[in-house]
Amino acid sequence: MVKVLFVCLGNICRSPMAEFVFKDMLQKQNLSDICLVASAGTSSEEAGNPVHRGTAAQLSMRNISCAGKRARKIVRSDYSEYDYLVGMERRNLADMLSFFGGDPAHKLFRLLDFSESPRDISDPWYTGDFERTYRDVSEGCKCFLEFLRREKKI
Ligand code: 4NP
């Protein structure tokens, strides 16, 4: 079983989008049973809140449900619980490094570092463009899945 935690700041826009897009990809390839996926935020600001309507709309357009998801902040035990803690932007990695007190097991990654054009996921909180965020997330998830396959993790 491979365990993946997608991480952003608030856990209402980018990381839940990655969580549900990645779960959908796994489901379509019959891989759901061997990969556990969740998401969390580095901040407690949005804890308990549902997925942002802009993200929910992008998912719904593709028949992907995020029903029941509530934002949560990362906890210390996430570092031992998950195999891959995948941030959406550079700042998420810096915040995780500080929160977990380092990355001794090399579990911290940035999603689009798995792609051929490494960059941060476009932040819809500032751009208002959830479609662009979807394109970034979808590219990142596809490349991350290919990485896991190459590494023979799934
Ligand atoms: P997320 O988006 O980190 O992708 O969930 C944001 C949510 C809340 C804030 C910023 C980004 N905020 O500043 O409260």
DSSP string of 82-126, one letter each residue: -SEEEESSHHHHHHHHHHHT--TT--EEEGGGGSSS--PPP-HHH
- Single-letter code of the amino acid located at 46: E
Q: How far apart are CA 59 and CA 147, in angstroms?
A: 23
Q: How far is CA 111 from CA 7, 20, 61, in A?
A: 9, 14, 22
Cβ of 1: how many Cβ atoms within 10 Å? 9
The pTM of the whole model exceeds 0.85: yes
Active site residues: 8, 14, 123
| Residue 50 domain boundaries | 2-150
- Angle 9-19-103 from CA coordinates, rounded to 5°: 55
Task: List all residues whose CB is within 6 A of at least one atom of ligand 1.
Answer: 8-14, 41, 45-46, 125
Q: What is the CATH number of the domain that holds 14?
A: 3.40.50.2300
Q: Whose CA is nearest to atom 12 of ligand 1?
A: 10
Q: Mean pLDDT, the chain, as a whole number? A: 98
- What is the reported pLDDT for 91? 98
Domain count, the chain: 1
At 99, the pLDDT band (50, 70, 90 cuts) reads very high
The model's confidence at residue 64, banded by pLDDT at 50, 70 and 90, is very high
Residue 151 CA, ligand 1 centroid: distance in Å: 32
Mutate to test the pocket of ligand 1, among 7, 20, 46 (most ligand atoms within 8 A of CB): 46
pLDDT at 47: 98
Position in ligand 1 atom list of the atom nearest CA 125: 11
